[in-house]
A = this chain, B = another copy of it.
Amino acid sequence: MNGGKLVLVVCAGVSLAACSQGRPAANQTAAGPTPSASGAAAEPLMARARQVFKPIPASPPTLPGNEATAAKVELGEMLFFDPRLSASHVISCASCHNLSLGGADAEPTSIGHKWQHGGRNAPTVLNAVFDTAQFWDGRAADLEHQAGGPIVNPVEMASPSEHVAEQLQGIPGYQAAFARAFPGEPNPVSLGNVQKAIAVFEATLITPESPFDRYLNGQADALSPVQKQGLTLFMDKGCSACHSGVGVGGSMYAPFGVVAKPGADLLPPTDKGRFMVTRSPADAYVFKVPSLRNVALTAPYFHTGAVWDLRQAVGVMGASQLGAQLSPDETDKIAAFLTSLTGAQPKVTLPVLPASGATTPRPQP
């Protein structure tokens, strides 16, 4: 997952291509008032913002090759909440992507199998579907590939990959749920289908209707005067060169420390970020630019989770990425704008899971 953590970067060469993503599509205004010519004319800032950002659509995007049937979304929700996908039967996707806490876990790094500490801060699952790739280093192309990672990672859920299907086959009730979600498949209970089902559920976890979305959709008073000043600063100072599009981030990679490398507390030398994926020296200390959607809900910030104060995070970004010493007033205004990115949180009714029983492989806690 990725998103909701704060990284602002200065990036040469990000201009028309990135900005072209910022225009709201005509069919994505159902969630708010239709942008009117008069509204745009009355508010030059709104017209400018629409060149850079895009509102969250009212309904989830489709995933290529992975149709979101009701049965598949329902199964994905069950699996997302089922701790029996972990070796211990203690940890579920929802443990670190807590939908009561903005889709993250309010920890610097997550606690995994046998209380091991994860390597990087858990990004929010909310709106992750809009990201260009998943994980801080982009090593998974999409939600479906991401979902297979933590389940089998020995530091996280620690299920041997060959055990996942065996575990679920041992829980009466899942066979029928998989058959409904993947009709016609002779052996639907598989790790691959677990990933597909979780991905279509996670794609539903979008947060439209934030004040900023309503503003982009034409409601001029959806942002306060201070938030509008913050939005102006966010664009003028260069934050939006990378934090753009529907996710206000999540669409590209950038080095952490463009102008000034932060200290080892924020950028430990041992974690070289995307270099671990590409082995390209140019990717050393490069990370995905996270989405800032719901960022006010997802402290602590950065891949280390070392900063708890949104204002402090804004200051760090200004200094390290933009070479800008933001004044307290500027920092306050940008932070006020960022709070306008908090959208309607998904309404999730807890699934009732099929019970463990005599035939269920035992937990290994």
Question: Is A101 within 8 A of B349, CB to CB?
Answer: no
In the assembled complex, the CB of A49 is this many whole angstroms from the nearest CB of chain B, namely 25
* A348 part of interface (Cβ distance < 8 Å): yes
Task: Name the contact of A358 in the complex, choosing from B117, B310, B360 (C-beta under 8 A).
Answer: B310
Residues in B whose Cβ lies below 8 Å from that of A357? 299, 308-310
- A299, A312, A348, A355 — most chain B CB neighbours (10 Å): A355
Question: Is A349 within 8 A of B352, CB to CB?
Answer: no
Number of copies: 2
Which residues of A from 76 to 90 have beta carbons under 8 Å from B? Answer: 78, 81-84, 88-90
Question: Is B353 within 8 A of A100, CB to CB?
Answer: yes
The contact string, 1 if C-beta is below 8 Å from chain B, for chain A 113-128, is 0110100000000000
Which residues of A from 311 to 365 have beta carbons under 8 Å from B? Answer: 311-312, 345, 347-353, 355-358, 360, 362-363, 365
- A84, A101, A311 — most chain B CB neighbours (10 Å): A101
Question: Is B355 within 8 A of A308, CB to CB?
Answer: no
Question: Is B100 within 8 A of A365, CB to CB?
Answer: no
Task: Name the contact of A356 in the complex, choosing from B90, B95, B308, B365 (C-beta under 8 A).
Answer: B308
Which residues of A from 234 to 290 have beta carbons under 8 Å from B? Answer: none
Smallest CB gap from A358: residue in B: B309
Residues in B whose Cβ lies below 8 Å from that of A100? 78, 81-82, 350-353
* A51 part of interface (Cβ distance < 8 Å): no
Question: Is A106 within 8 A of B81, CB to CB?
Answer: no
16 A-B pairs with CB atoms under 8 Å apart are: A83-B98, A90-B111, A100-B350, A100-B351, A100-B353, A101-B355, A106-B355, A106-B356, A108-B363, A111-B365, A298-B355, A299-B360, A309-B357, A309-B358, A310-B358, A348-B350
10 A-B pairs with the lowest CB-CB distances in the bound complex, closest first: A309-B358, A115-B115, A297-B355, A106-B356, A100-B353, A348-B350, A345-B352, A90-B111, A100-B350, A349-B349
